[in-house]
Amino acid sequence: MHNTEDNWPVGAMDGLKVVDLSRVLGGPYCTQILADHGAEVIKVEPPQGDETRDMGPPFHEKDSSYFIGINRNKRSIGLDLSNIEGRSTLLRLLEGADVLLENFKTGTMEKWGIGYEDTISKLFPNLIYCRISGFGSDGPLGGLPGYDGVIQAMAGWMSVNGGGDKDPTRLGLAAVDMGTGLYTCTAILMALFERHGSGKGQFIDMTLFDCAVALMHPHIPNFYYSEGKIPEMYGNQHANVAPYDKFSTKTVEVFIAALNNPAFRRLCSELGQPDLANDPRFRTNPDRVANINELSDKLSSLMLDIDGEDLCQRLMLNGVAAGPVYNTAQVVEHPHTSHRDMSVKLDWYQGSGIPIKFSRTPGSIRSTPPRFSEHGRDILAQHGFNEDEIDALAENHVLVEERKKL
In a domain, 322, yes or no: yes
The pLDDT of residue 141 is: 95
Residues 324, 364 share a domain: no
In a domain, 228, yes or no: no
Residues 44, 115 share a domain: yes
**Which of the listed residues 289, 304, 333 is the one where a domain comes to its end?**
333
Q: Determine the Cα–Cα distance for residues 87 and 144; give it in Å rounded to an integer.
A: 24
Decide: 11 and 364 in contact? Cβ < 8 Å. Answer: yes
Nearest of 92, 134, 98, 80 to residue 13 by alpha carbon: 98
The pLDDT of residue 7 is: 65
In a domain, 369, yes or no: yes
Decide: 196 and 267 in contact? Cβ < 8 Å. Answer: no
Q: What is the CATH number of the domain that holds 153?
A: 3.40.50.10540
Q: Determine the Cα–Cα distance for residues 53 and 32; give it in Å rounded to an integer.
A: 16
In a domain, 396, yes or no: yes
Residues 61, 203 share a domain: yes
The pLDDT of residue 3 is: 38
The pLDDT of residue 163 is: 85
The pLDDT of residue 400 is: 97
Residues 62, 202 share a domain: yes
Decide: 93 and 379 in contact? Cβ < 8 Å. Answer: yes
CA distances from 180 to 26, 131, 168, 205 (A): 6, 11, 22, 11
Q: Determine the Cα–Cα distance for residues 248 and 42; give it in Å rounded to an integer.
A: 48
In a domain, 100, yes or no: yes
**Which of the listed residues 302, 333, 364 is the one where a domain comes to its end?**
333
Helix 261-270 vs helix 308-317: crossing angle, to nearest 10? 140
297 is catalytic: no
Q: What single DSSP character describes residue 303?
A: H
Q: Determine the Cα–Cα distance for residues 201 and 190; give it in Å rounded to an integer.
A: 11
The residue type of 251 is: T
**Which of the listed residues 274, 306, 333 is the one where a domain comes to its end?**
333
How many domains is the chain partitioned into structurally? 2
Q: Determine the Cα–Cα distance for residues 108 and 303; give it in Å rounded to an integer.
A: 58
In a domain, 231, yes or no: no
Full residue range of the structural domain in which residue 293 is found: 244-333
The pLDDT of residue 263 is: 97
320 contact partners, CB below 8 Å, separation of at least 6: 256, 257, 258, 263, 266, 267, 270
Element (H, E) at 131: strand 128-133
Residues 100, 75 share a domain: yes
Burial (Cβ within 10 Å: 0-12, 13-18, ≥19) of residue 205: middle
Q: Determine the Cα–Cα distance for residues 201 and 16; give it in Å rounded to an integer.
A: 14
Compute how many other C-beta atoms are within 10 angstroms of the C-beta atom of residue 361.
15
The pLDDT of residue 285 is: 97
Residues 177, 94 share a domain: yes
Residues 327, 353 share a domain: no
The residue type of 95 is: E
- Beta strands (DSSP E) in 201-312 are 202-207, 244-248, 253-257
In a domain, 226, yes or no: no
Q: Determine the Cα–Cα distance for residues 195 and 197; give it in Å rounded to an integer.
A: 5
Encode the chain (406 residues) as per-residue pLDDT tens digits: 333 345 667 899 999 999 999 999 999 999 999 999 999 999 999 999 999 999 999 999 999 999 999 999 999 999 999 999 999 999 999 999 999 999 999 999 999 999 999 999 999 999 999 999 999 999 999 999 999 999 999 999 999 999 878 899 999 999 999 999 999 999 999 999 999 999 999 999 999 999 999 999 999 999 999 988 999 998 999 999 999 999 999 999 999 999 999 999 999 999 999 999 999 999 999 999 999 999 999 999 999 999 999 999 999 999 999 999 999 999 999 999 999 999 999 999 999 999 999 999 999 999 999 999 999 999 999 999 999 999 999 999 999 999 998 7
Residues 56, 27 share a domain: yes
Nearest of 42, 28, 25, 53 to residue 403 by alpha carbon: 53
Residues 211, 274 share a domain: no
Residues 316, 179 share a domain: no
Residues 256, 195 share a domain: no
Q: What is the CATH number of the domain that holds 284?
A: 3.30.1540.10
Compute how many other C-beta atoms are within 10 angstroms of the C-beta atom of residue 398.
21
Give this prediction's pTM: 0.93
In a domain, 220, yes or no: no
Please tell me which residue in 20, 36, 177, 245 is annotated as part of the active site.
177
User: Beta strands 399-400 and 75-79: pairing type?
Assistant: antiparallel
Q: Determine the Cα–Cα distance for residues 356 and 15; give it in Å rounded to an integer.
A: 19
Residues 327, 355 share a domain: no
Nearest of 390, 373, 374 to residue 46 by alpha carbon: 373
